[in-house]
Chains A and B, each alone.
Chain A
């Protein structure tokens, strides 16, 4: 592991979080707007939406650190025809672009909300393509530990898990802000936040379930594979980095599972916003750490067929 691999970890985690947040935000917005009206939904989401921008830019910058020759970075999209890396970069650029257009339109309330929704849908679709491309980069026929369905599943799970918890945390922060600056709307916002957090908590519990189902299956698959490189990967996971692997499982379980469950319970009964907020922050932080560890392991398991 050197600077480059940390750069990749940062890049993939941050951009997946951004895509996840964008989509989750969209979904929440959709329901919130129907129930509480667009104005309240805007009030809930706009600031969170704007926060995605820096995350994305940060991720993209991090990705540059992964390059040995960053001065040539513009060439990274030269081979969209066959390179998933090119496709990823292209999708990343497009996602930033369309996302920024949407954020700008949304912020300034340009055009109709229907048009804005279309733009948002396009951005979301590009986001999905981005995460998909990312996963395809690793689905190399020469990298058996990566070349499994677990890669896209994991990437998308990470996307939505981090997205959900990031959005949850953002709402908590947003609520705190609203409470101070626009006390008039605090009650409604509180209600929206609570009900949203409940759903987000539920989603993250389900997503952690996906992780906890996929991971063992994946390890079992690698271990039973007759490709030596796959077995080597298991050895990395269970041997050299066994502690990290175990910790990652515990953290994701604690973060998304246990804290998620608490979050759900707390969000269901009124009062104690402070605890609720801290729970949301904690869940996000713990899962973020867990996912970084997961991604670290993902790269550590890079075992290739052949020499």
Chain B
């Protein structure tokens, strides 16, 4: 896709504050359990108690903020029986509530847990990349919210030229599965995709 839009995320700058998540909930009037953007905590390391009462460790931790990645190979769209999921020319992947049958198949399939079921409407919902803001030339709510400027939005090829093309780190899935339109800047703490060094530390929150 020529004009594919994408998110950029800087691990070093993310403090796990979740301003992005709540800004999204505020923007889209989402209930507390529906998080179109979520922040995963990945942490690990071993502790040893020494003889003298001191301890040694090699602990690390970092956060990854993820929404829908408006993938280039959107598995959600591939599996949706109702053809309710479409991809715009600018790459934005949207769910048409009016067409959705609420089968939740996209939810099973998407490795980013992006599609989330709306119990009230019985249909699937997910990050729209704040398409109304984008169309009005504004930043998406989450990006505009980040106090640390860990998030950016932009044209995928431009962002790649600027930041490289890493799109997978632990605990995210391998990029080859859906080719997410996302670029991650890792820091020294960041572990590669499929790493076993740590674990998703906040499963209930993502």
Contacts and interface: CB of A to CB of B under 8 A. Distances in A.
Within the complex, are A and B direct neighbours (CB within 8 Å)?
yes
Interface of A: 4, 66-70, 72-73, 75-79, 82-86, 89, 137, 140-143, 226-228, 302, 304-307
8 closest pairs, A vs B, by CB? A68-B102, A306-B111, A68-B122, A306-B173, A85-B81, A69-B102, A86-B81, A75-B82
Interface string B86-130: 000000000000111111110011111100011101111000000
A302 B111 CA distance: 12
B66 A68 contact: no
B81 A78 contact: yes
Interface stretch (B72-80, B131-139, B156-164): B72-80
A68 B109 contact: no
Contacts of A306: 110-113, 171-173, 177
B148 interface: no
Contacts of B119: 68
B101 A142 contact: no
B84 interface: yes
9 contacts: A77-B81, A83-B80, A85-B79, A85-B105, A89-B81, A142-B75, A306-B171, A306-B177, A307-B66
Contact of B122 (A69, A137, A227): A69
A142 B109 contact: yes
B113 A307 contact: yes
Most buried by B among A78, A226, A307: A307
Nearest to B173: A306
B206 interface: yes
A68 B108 contact: no
Contacts of B78: 82-83
B61 interface: no
A307 B172 contact: yes
A161 B109 CA distance: 29
B106 to A, nearest CB: 10
Given A68-B100, A69-B100, A302-B108, 18 more contacts: A67-B102, A67-B103, A69-B101, A69-B102, A72-B82, A78-B99, A79-B83, A82-B79, A83-B83, A83-B105, A85-B105, A140-B108, A142-B173, A304-B113, A305-B111, A305-B174, A306-B110, A306-B112
A75 B75 contact: no
A83 B101 CA distance: 14
Interface in B148-203: 171-174, 177-178, 194, 196, 200
B23 interface: no
Nearest to B98: A72
Contacts of A89: 81
Q: Is the interface of A mostly helix, strand, loop or mixed?
A: loop
Main secondary structure of the interface of B (DSSP, over half): loop
Nearest to B122: A68
Nearest to A90: B81
B18 interface: no
B38 interface: yes
A130 to B, nearest CB: 14
Contacts of B34: none
B103 A76 contact: yes
Contacts of A73: 101
Choose among B66, B79, B122 the residue with the greatest number of A CB atoms under 10 Å from its CB: B79
A151 to B, nearest CB: 13
Contact of B177 (A67, A72, A305): A305
B38 A307 contact: yes
Contacts of B206: 307
B123 A68 contact: yes
B104 A137 contact: no
B6 interface: no
B111 A75 contact: no
Contacts of A86: 81
Contact of B84 (A67, A75, A142): A75
Contact of B81 (A79, A140, A228): A79
Contacts of B100: 68-69, 72
A74 to B, nearest CB: 9
A307 B169 CA distance: 12
A228 B101 CA distance: 31
A78 B105 contact: no
